[in-house]
Amino acid sequence: MTKPLHPNLNVDALFLGPKSENAVFFREMMDYAVNEHMYWRSGFHPEDSASVTSVDRYEHNYRETLYRTEGILNQLSAKLKNTSIPFFSPRYLGHISSDTLMVSNLAYVMAMMYNPNNCSYEASPTTTELELESGLDLCRMFGYNPQQSWGHITSGGTVANYEGLWVARNLKTLPFAAFQHPKAKDLVNHKSPNQLKNMPTAEILDLISELQQRGIFEEIRDMTCRGTGVKPEILGKLLVPQSKHYSWMKAADIFGIGQENIIPLPVNENYQIDIAQMRKITFELIEQGESILAMIAVVGTTEVGAIDRIDEVIALRKECEERYGESFYLHVDAAYAGYACAMLLDEQGEFIEYDDLASCHRSIGIMPENISWPKPEVYKSFRALKEADSITVDPHKVGFIQYAAGAICMKDKRILDLISSHAAYVFEENADKTTPAARNRGILGSSIMEGSKSGATAAALWAAHRLLPLNISGYGKVIAAGIVTAQRLLDKLTNLPPIAVGKHQFEVHIMPSPDFHMINFTFKEVGNENLNSHNALNKRLYELCSYSTGRAYANDFLTSSTILNYKEYGDTPRHYAEQCGFSRSEWEKVRRIYVLRAAVMTYCLRDEEHFNEFWEQLQSIFVKKLNQLVDEEEKKARLELGLDAPLMG
């Protein structure tokens, strides 16, 4: 990975800024990008005559067309300014969105004008290689061997998750296809029927290599589900934590797995996979002779930012292999927190030992003395990522790249042979493959779920990785800013005294001990024992702090929300409801709790003085919003004969 020319990166110089502080530089570079492209066009075969003359440009309909173009762009600008969400501001603490890197925005615009299509090397010789290089950057960050692994950009984490399940599905059926083929049966004849169902991933990949050496791989591949269709009794069960992203339910539908074959893994009070329950469910499935299609673990859940114990999942898989001779495919959905791995790597890309991590963070000034990250178990999870078979990560989240930029990394690129397809006009099957560039020509389009895709995103990601290496002194600095701000905000909210609004008092309750920089919290009226009223209160607060009540640009604080309910999480949210002061019987009656949700990604508040100024403003905003809410409720109460009902009752 390319090292930065100047390791002492200034984080404030990376973004346009909440007040467009870097506007002069950004405009200069934008002009440069546009001018370079125009020179490129005009310099292509200068002997060719221009298709439009000066006389043509003065024609009435020509100028009218330009005026109409200008008018449409003016309309679009007005629409965007009127209703877009100001993610760039520290006043926005909601979804997993923040300001985006200037270098990525500029690189995107620069490449976009060349209109590369990364489905075909012929249409994108430059950006295809940038995408593959960026994919390997991510593979290295997770600890994969860059000579054996492979990664690429998707439109988002959803498609990356689909691709992970796609390869797991096709992988699962290969041993059965080999067993049915007379020229390959000897390779798996020593396996019991149950062991055939749950062969270790590494063994199946070695089987691919052996089948290719025998010259029968493609013939047998056509006998897998790729050729014969899905057989649920072979694919088996998909183990997914209760904290899953919604994409997994859609994936089960799309790939013919069936949602009835999804087994939810219970989560603990911290919304991580419950290790004891995971072990129990896995052992029971194996002992019952069930096939396990794959296990999914999450590094950064979308609702609370929880990080599953990847090391424990790896230990379980190893135990299954030793105890039963059976295993399972492991895909890690690290869409949200995957980039945080950079905070744990030195400038050579090696993991810093946990005992040295805090001093390393402080020595380069990214963490103050009173704040440290991560917890020991979170650190172990990141170190174990290299053992996962595939990993989803979203550059458009904590990579600070503009949409749409997801990615998937695969530990062993041999797995691509199970999903690759060929179209001669796209993939140049007969082209020369003697150089690395030539060998790369078909690898993207033939081995991904999407078809045509923008090469501009690849340019944006490549440029970001060149400016900000995936290590402690690159991306680590930017990500640390959000973590520091989140920890300070968590401390302030935890110690915030009740807020008095007339005869009402409101206290803040925080979901404890986040694994990353997602803060979930609620406001509770002191003395209220009605969970439905509590939920209505926080739902209304969300509406007052979002686009729901009008133009977001005019709001002084923006956040997001979610609902933690029994249907998705079982009784896990009960612990937080009880922490808020609601009885178990009240939880049993309602079984859902509405929470405010803030992904604290801003880099602007890492300085303590700036944070304290923001906190003073935020307290005033809370008072203002609660006053507005109380006024609304009192007006309703007066309309209802002046009844002194509980707030939001």
Report whether pLDDT(72) > 70. yes
Contacts 24+ apart (CB under 8 A), 505-512: 506/626, 509/576, 509/579, 509/580, 509/581, 511/304, 511/576, 511/595, 512/270, 512/579
Name the β-bridge partners of 171.
none
Question: Predicted confidence band at 6 (pLDDT cuts at 50, 70, 90)?
Answer: very low
Report whether pLDDT(637) > 80. no
* Catalytic-role residue among 39, 379, 425, 566: 425
pLDDT score at 431: 52
Phi, psi of 474 (to 5 degrees): -110, -105
Question: Predicted confidence band at 5 (pLDDT cuts at 50, 70, 90)?
Answer: very low
Report whether pLDDT(14) > 70. yes
Q: How far apart are CA 453 and CA 510, in angstroms?
A: 41
Pair of tokens at residue 309: 């114990």
Question: Residue type at 260?
Answer: E
DSSP string, 50-113: PSS-HHHHTSHHHHHHHHHHHHHHHHHHHHHHHH---TTSTTEESSS----BHHHHHHHHHHHT
Give per-residue pLDDT as tens, 177-190.
999 999 999 999 99
Q: Which is more confidently placed, 131 or 2?
A: 131
Q: Where are the beta strands (DSSP E) in 325-468?
A: 330-333, 390-393, 406-410
Q: How far apart are CA 625 and CA 631, in angstroms?
A: 10
Q: How far apart are CA 424 and CA 441, in angstroms?
A: 12
Q: Are 504 and 634 in contact (CB under 8 A)?
A: no
Q: How far apart are CA 389 and CA 201, in angstroms?
A: 8
User: Mean pLDDT over residues 14-26, rounded?
Assistant: 97
Question: Predicted confidence band at 238 (pLDDT cuts at 50, 70, 90)?
Answer: very high
Report whether pLDDT(622) > 80. yes
Pair of tokens at residue 343: 């905070």
Q: How far apart are CA 437 and CA 420, in angstroms?
A: 19
Task: Tell me the three state secondary structure of residue 143.
Answer: coil
pLDDT score at 597: 96
Most confident of 109-123, 518-532, 540-554: 518-532
Question: Residue type at 174?
Answer: L
Give per-residue pLDDT as tens, 287-306.
999 999 999 999 999 999 99
Give per-residue pLDDT as tens, 413-440.
999 999 987 644 344 554 555 544 445 4
User: Mean pLDDT over residues 140-153, rounded?
Assistant: 96
pLDDT score at 314: 98
Question: Residue type at 19?
Answer: K
Report whether pLDDT(55) > 90. yes
Give per-residue pLDDT as tens, 313-344.
999 999 999 999 999 999 999 999 999 999 99
pLDDT score at 293: 95
Q: Give the mean pLDDT of the chain.
A: 92
Report whether pLDDT(640) > 80. no
User: Mean pLDDT over residues 359-364, rounded?
Assistant: 94
pLDDT score at 436: 42
**Helices assigned H by DSSP within 146-200:** 157-180, 193-197
Concerning whether 425 is annotated as a catalytic residue, the answer is yes
**Helices assigned H by DSSP within 260-306:** 275-287
Question: Predicted confidence band at 447 (pLDDT cuts at 50, 70, 90)?
Answer: confident
Burial of 465 (0-12, 13-18, 19+ CB in 10 A): buried
Eight-state DSSP code of residue 444 = H
Give per-residue pLDDT as tens, 256-284.
888 899 999 999 999 999 999 999 999 99
pLDDT score at 647: 63
Q: Which domains does the chain have, with CATH numbers?
A: 157-393 (3.40.640), 480-639 (3.90.1150.10)
Share of the chain above pLDDT 70, in %: 94
Give per-residue pLDDT as tens, 78-103.
999 999 999 999 999 999 999 999 99
pTM of the model: 0.94
